[in-house]
Amino acid sequence: MGRVSRHDRIATGLIEWGSGSLRDLPWRRTNNAWHVLVSEVMLQQTSVTRVLPKYENFIAEFPTPGHMANASLGDALALWSGLGYPRRCRNLRETAIVLARDFDGVMPSTLDELLALPGIGQYTARAILAFAHRQDVAVVDVNVSRVLSRLEGEPLKARALQQLADQLVPEGLGWDWNQVMMDFGARHCTVRSPQCTACPVKKQCKWHGVGDDPAPLSAGASKPQAKFEGSDRQARGRAMRAVNDGVATQKAIVRAMNLEHDVERATKLLEALVNEGLLLRSGARFTLP
């Protein structure tokens, strides 16, 4: 029998760790590529707990790309309200339109075709290939980046991360492996409290929790977000929620934004939302598109 490689030991240890203990999430119960895409877009910079109720409602309303393509962006944004980053919803609808028009509502199954869709980058494309089409490709999110750089004991650039991730995928287990890696980073090899002493691959890890953590300097590492309270992002979100709730006049929206003291800033933010296609303006009144 040949010698078992370090990569094989890592794969075996983590697959065993995840066996029977993965989080039960609705998007893990489907191979529907559109549903997988919706979940991945929602989960960008948003926690699982906030996504769960929105995902169920969104899929019920837009079960196929055609359903979303035929709806107004305003209807989609109304359902999206509360998730933040409404540009994601706009991009998702643009993708739905392309899928319905050019692909008969069927999600492509090649990396190049997926990358050509509006707003879909390397991560999302690979997630669709792995989770919907069950291909043996690696998906590198912030959790996977952290695990891999710690295993190697050094910061890793994007190309090196992807190459290592691809090398580790056990043949025929792409779906399982990627889910395990994400859960392992989210629940075990965490940002602040990695459980190194109980790690199933501690013998293969080159960091061991000793010395400087290589994860923060690796590609894909989470970066501290700017303060939300008082930010433009908060004000934009308040404006979108206000319009969704039926507030229409600029004066009332500015009040909802808590920017009566800085009308010039509020006006610029509203202009940006209009320019991005997220709000419509008629005179001094605003509506969802």
- The catalytic residue positions are 40
∠ CA 189-187-141 to the nearest 5 degrees?
70
CA quadruple 250, 256, 53, 278: dihedral, nearest 10? 30
Cα(250)–Cα(246) distance, rounded to whole angstroms?
A: 12
Cα(197)–Cα(209) distance, rounded to whole angstroms?
A: 9
**Helix/strand/coil percentages in the chain, nearest 5:** 55, 0, 40
Scan for tokens 């837009």, then name that residue: 62
Cα(63)–Cα(56) distance, rounded to whole angstroms?
A: 10
Where are the strands (E) in 114-185, listed by range?
none
Contact of 257 with 279, CB cutoff 8 Å: no
Q: Which amino acid, one-letter code, is at 111?
A: L
Q: Which amino acid, one-letter code, is at 273?
A: L
Sign of the dihedral through C-alpha 140, 123, 114, 18: positive
Cα(108)–Cα(129) distance, rounded to whole angstroms?
A: 9
